[in-house]
Amino acid sequence: MQPAIAAQGLSKRYYLNQSVGLGLRRTIARIQGAPLPERPEFWALKDIGFEVRRGESVGLIGPNGSGKSTLFKILAKITRQTEGRLRVNGRLSALIEVGAGFHPELSGRENIYLNGAILGMSRHEIDRKFDAIVAFAELEQFIDTPVKRYSSGMYVRLGFSIAAHLDPDILLIDEILAVGDFSFQRKCFERVREFRSQDRTFFLVSHNMLHIENVCDRVLYLKNGHLVADGPPSEVIALYLNQQDAQSQQRLQDGGHSRITTPILSDPERLSVSRVRTYDAQGRETDTLMFGEPLEIEVEYRATKPLIRPKIEIGVFGMGNFLAETNTITDPSEIEVLEGEGRVRCRIDPVLLTPGPYHLDLFVADGETSADLCHWQIAGEFRVAFPKDFRVGSGREGLFRFPAHWHSVDAQ
Amino acid sequence: MPSTIDHLRELYRHRELLVSLTFRQFHARYKQSVLGLGWAVFKPIATVSIFTVVFSVIAKFPSDGIPYPLFAFGALLPWTLFNTAVSAGVPSMVNQANLVAKIYLPREILPLSTIIAASVDFVIALAVFVPVMLYYGVDVTWNILWAVPILLITTLFTFGLVLFLSLANVWFRDVSHAMSFILQFWMYLTPIIYPLSMVPERYRLLYGLNPMVGLVEGFRDVVLKGTPPPLDLLGISTVMAVVTFWFGYKLFKEREYQFADVI
């Protein structure tokens, strides 16, 4: 059977300087036979080769600027590769930006027809699917309102809903499963699963590794325009996360900065937070801990005026998602007041996160007025590893493990 | 290398999109305006009235014995078709950069839809023109059938020119700035406010190198005078329209893949 997509040696060059002046100087030089003035160039993609079978769901991951979007644009025929060959078999629809092509003055109804046509649906097809599109977007009430009056959520829902009702053989989606509220996201995922079960080919770009792991059965990893890995999601994602992690470690060792940002203090006269450290079970400062062991997070502060019953909140992030939080108001806390220079600690025991890199954010708020005094977006980083004797099950890990126990109920 | 025929076939496959985009333009243009489509009726009437006052009543331009309002209107019909399509078509790619950079479609659909929208305006203006003709009691002859090929050639020339200029506009925005000025100048180089007969005979062919001359004068002749069009001038226009279209379309399709990178 023919592959849905076959790419061979795809490369894409961009010129960084597109100015008319340089173009003219080059033209003049060419006529005079003089050496051409140099034109700075940039290879967004270099020698990419892969094949996608029909019915495969492929995820495309990589850091910003790694060439993901460029590859998508080439697949979607929006731009053309500088070198290499590409064959696409079947009808391909690409959703690179939700609602691109919406006209703000036109109503939701008119935009469904317009956008549907832009994405390759026939009028007859749209007629047939119209009600389903509106219902999926939950916009029955507002369908005759111009979209310029829509909220951003409504706008995105309509855009995705149209795309969700396309009938292509191959569907490309760029980072847009992260739209709408939770229930809408869930609908989108169901839609994607349905799409997959119909033996169609699906291509997803995302920074959210959970989304990738959930819907893809193969992952391509791009880095600096090169294809560095192509394989099963768990392996490639692990490689990607490890490399990302190693990079930030490297930057730390080089005396540079890791991803750790600086805190945003709304009232530095009143409170400043200087450091967030993480400690393991033995009380050693560390950024690596074993699965199932406790973690202590220490916040070092300086308060000019005493801060009574402060709200200190720490959030945990992993795989691009917000996972959990703990704070001094809803969780057991002995912290009554912050004054002078001091440190507070939060103990999490046990940590049941599965191996991988995680990071922390921090909020400190006045307990009385609940005004934010400090917001630290990336206050700390740590990684979790499985102990050596830990047996990994199916290869599907999820983000954390329950303290679960299995037993039989009515065995003879 | 795909041929022009392949391109036209691909274009035909996207005909519904073309209709939708034309509709979008037309519709969006008159949304949130009280007169709405009334503007398409009002504009030609206003222009003809102003021309009549300025060039006939005040400046006393000759009009080959045709009542001046009719004379000006007959020429403004094809000219406005051209003028509207060019001024909307040249920036059409840049104005819709989000479509060009984010979605695949045969890009000539964008300028083409502006031309079709201009044709709809033309039809509305024509509906205003016919009662004016009846009012002045114009003698219609079979020569009026020439109007059909004349309009087709006008459209072909317009499309070719818009393809070329909208392409250039992607690289050099100067084109759309210059265009409003050039179109004004171009109008005075075309027999609209004055008759072709005012141009000295020895300059006639040189003058006719402006393809709009044969088309505008031809349209006016066959509709209002009931005579055949000036075949020599119309011939020049036809050749230039075909060449412009062929060249413009070819260049456009060759460069199409760079639009998303440059725009």
For residues A100-133, one letter each, b for 16 or more C-beta atoms within 10 angstroms of the residue's C-beta and e for the rest, the string is bbbbebbbbbbbbbbbbbbbbbeeebbeebbeeb
Q: How many CB atoms lie within 10 A of CB B12?
A: 10
Distance from the B107 Cα atom to the nearest Cα atom in chain A, whole angstroms: 10
What is the tens place of the pLDDT at every residue in A71-124? 999 998 888 899 999 999 988 888 887 777 788 888 899 899 988 888 888 889
Q: Look at residue A412 in the predicted model and tell me its pLDDT.
A: 66
- Contacts A43 to B, Cβ<8 Å: none
Mean of the pLDDT values across residues B105-133?
92
* Crossing angle for the helix pair B15-30 and B109-136, to the nearest 10 degrees: 60
Q: Summarize pLDDT for B135-187 with one digit per residue, the tens.
A: 998 888 999 999 999 999 999 999 999 999 999 999 888 999 999 899 999 99
Count of domains forming chain B: 1
Cβ contact, residue pair B24, A18, below 8 Å = no
Q: How many residue contacts between A and B have a Cβ separation below 8 Å?
A: 66
Look at residue A390 and tell me whether its pLDDT is greater than 90.
Answer: no
**CATH 3.40.50.300 intervals, chain A:** 5-245
Quote the pLDDT of residue A411: 67
Q: Residue A381 has what DSSP assignment?
A: E
- Domain A5-245 part of CATH 3.40.30.10: no
Contacts of B16 in chain A (CB under 8 A): 117, 122-123
Domain A264-385 fold is Coagulation Factor XIII; Chain A, domain 1 (2.70.50)
Token pair for residue B193?
Answer: 């406010």
A190-204 confidence digits (pLDDT tens):
888 888 888 889 888
Residue A255 has pLDDT above 70, yes or no: no
Predicted local confidence at residue A256, as pLDDT: 42
Using a CB-CB cut-off of 8 Å, the residues of chain B touching A20 are: 171-172
Nearest CA in chain B to A80: B257
| Numbered ranges of CATH 2.70.50.60 in chain A | 264-385
Chain A residues touching residue B23 (CB < 8 angstroms): 110, 114
Pick the range with the lowest mean pLDDT from A254-258, A395-399, B27-31, B141-145.
A254-258
- Model pLDDT for residues A270-325, shown as the tens digit of each residue: 888 888 899 988 888 888 888 888 999 999 998 888 888 899 999 998 877 888 99
CB contact under 8 A, B20 and A113: yes
A178: pLDDT strictly greater than 70: no
- Residue B17 confidence (pLDDT): 87
pLDDT of residue A18: 67
Provide the pLDDT for residue A109: 92
Q: How far is A77 from chain B (nearest CA, A)?
A: 6
CA pair distance B83, B162, nearest whole angstrom: 11
In this structure, of A29-38, B69-78, B96-105, B241-250, the range with the lowest mean pLDDT score is A29-38
Mutation choice for B interface testing from A71, A114, A125 by most B CBs within 10 A: A114
Question: Measured between alpha carbons, how far is B100 from A101 in angstroms, rounded to an integer?
Answer: 9
Q: Do B104 and A18 touch (CB under 8 A)?
A: no
Kindly report the pTM of this predicted structure. Answer: 0.73
Give pLDDT, residue A270: 83
* A contacts of B27 (beta carbons < 8 Å): 105-106, 110
Q: In angstroms, what separates the C-alpha of A12 from chain B's closest C-alpha? A: 11
Q: Are A177 and A189 spatial neighbours (Cβ–Cβ below 8 Å)? A: yes
Mutate to test the interface with A, among B17, B21, B96 (most CBs of A within 10 A): B17
pLDDT tens for A110-164 read 899 988 888 888 889 999 999 999 999 889 999 999 998 988 888 888 988 888 8
Range ranked top by mean pLDDT from A17-21, A383-387, B249-253? B249-253
- Structural domain for B237, as ranges: 4-262
For the beta sheet containing A83-88, the strands, ordered from the edge strand earlier in sequence to the opposite edge, are A41-52, A5-15, A83-88
